[in-house]
Amino acid sequence: MATRVLIPTPLRAYTEKKESVLLEGNTVGELLRGLTATYPSLKKHLFDDTGSIRNFVNVYVNDEDIRYLQKEQTQVSEKDTVSIIPSIAGGRS
Amino acid sequence: MRETGGRGSRTDIRLSREEIRRYGRHLILPEVGLEGQMKLKAASVLLVGAGGLGSPLALYLAAAGIGRIGIVDFDVVDESNLQRQVLHSTADVGRPKLDSARDRIRSINPNVEIELFDTHLTSANALGILGGFDLVADGTDNFPTRYLVNDACVLLKKPNVYGSIFRFEGQVSVFSAPGGPCYRCLYADPPPPGLVPSCAEGGVLGVLPGIIGTIQAAETVKFILGIGESLVGRLLLFDALTMRTRELKLRRNPECAICGDNASITGLIDYERFCGIEPPPAAGPGDGESAISVAALKAMLDRGEGVFLLDVREPREYEIANLGGHLIPLNDLPRRVHELDSSQETVVYCHSGMRSGQAVQFLKQLGFRKVKNLLGGIDAWADAIDPDMPRY
pLDDT means per 10 residues in chain B (392 residues)? 44 90 97 97 98 98 98 95 97 97 98 97 96 96 92 97 92 96 93 65 88 98 98 96 94 94 92 75 51 91 88 93 93 87 89 90 84 93 92 90
pLDDT the model gives residue B367 = 80
Of the pLDDT bands very low, low, confident and very high (cuts 50, 70, 90), residue A92 is low
Q: Which residues, listed in sequence order, are joined to residue B326 by a DSSP beta bridge?
A: B310
> Which residues form the domain of A24?
2-86
C-alpha–C-alpha distance, residues B53 and B61, integer Å: 12
Closest CA to B66 of B119, B136, B171: B136
Q: Are B102 and B116 in contact (CB under 8 A)?
A: yes
The catalytic residue positions of B are 199, 350
pLDDT the model gives residue B164 = 94
Residue in B with minimal Cα distance to A59: B248
pLDDT the model gives residue B280 = 43
Closest CA to B156 of B136, B142, B172: B136
Give the tens place of pLDDT for each residue, A28-84. Answer: 999 999 999 999 989 988 998 898 999 889 999 999 999 999 999 999 999 999 999
pLDDT the model gives residue B235 = 96
Same domain? For B244 and B314 the reply is no
Chain A positions touching B331 (Cβ under 8 A) are 13, 41
Same domain? For B211 and B312 the reply is no
Would you say residue A91 lies in a domain? no
Chain B positions touching A87 (Cβ under 8 A) are 143, 164, 186-187, 190-191, 196
- B187·A55 Cβ contact <8 A: yes
- B195·A92 Cβ contact <8 A: no
SS3 B320: helix
CB neighbour burial string for B147-164, b if at least 16 within 10 angstroms, e if fewer: bbbbbbbbbeebbbbbbb
pLDDT the model gives residue B390 = 92
Give how far A53 is from chain B: nearest CA, Å: 12
> Which residues form the domain of B53?
10-274
- A63·B248 Cβ contact <8 A: yes
pLDDT the model gives residue B372 = 92
Q: What 8-state DSSP symbol labels residue B280?
A: S
Look at chain A and report how many structural domains it folds into.
1
Same domain? For B264 and B328 the reply is no
Task: Describe the strand order of the beta sheet including B291-292 as a list of residue ranges.
Answer: B291-292, B371-374, B346-349, B308-311, B326-327
Q: Are B378 and B350 in contact (CB under 8 A)?
A: yes
Same domain? For B129 and B48 the reply is yes
- B209·A91 Cβ contact <8 A: yes
Same domain? For B228 and B135 the reply is yes
Q: What is the DSSP string of A23-66?
A: EE-SBHHHHHHHHHHHSGGGHHHHB-TTSPBPTTEEEEETTEEG
Same domain? For B168 and B265 the reply is yes
Same domain? For B232 and B197 the reply is yes
CATH code for the domain of A6: 3.10.20.30
- Interface predicted TM-score of the whole assembly (ipTM), two decimals: 0.89
Chain B positions touching A90 (Cβ under 8 A) are 52, 141, 164-166, 198-199, 202, 204
Would you say residue A92 lies in a domain? no
Give how far A32 is from chain B: nearest CA, Å: 19
Q: Are B58 and B47 in contact (CB under 8 A)?
A: yes
Look at chain B and report how many structural domains it folds into.
2
pLDDT the model gives residue B197 = 58
Q: How far is CA B178 from the centre of its chain?
A: 25
Q: Are B211 and B196 in contact (CB under 8 A)?
A: no
Global confidence as pTM: 0.79
Same domain? For B310 and B351 the reply is yes
Would you say residue A93 lies in a domain? no
- A10·B197 Cβ contact <8 A: yes
Q: Which residues, listed in sequence order, are joined to residue B279 by a DSSP beta bridge?
A: none
C-alpha–C-alpha distance, residues A22 and A18, integer Å: 11
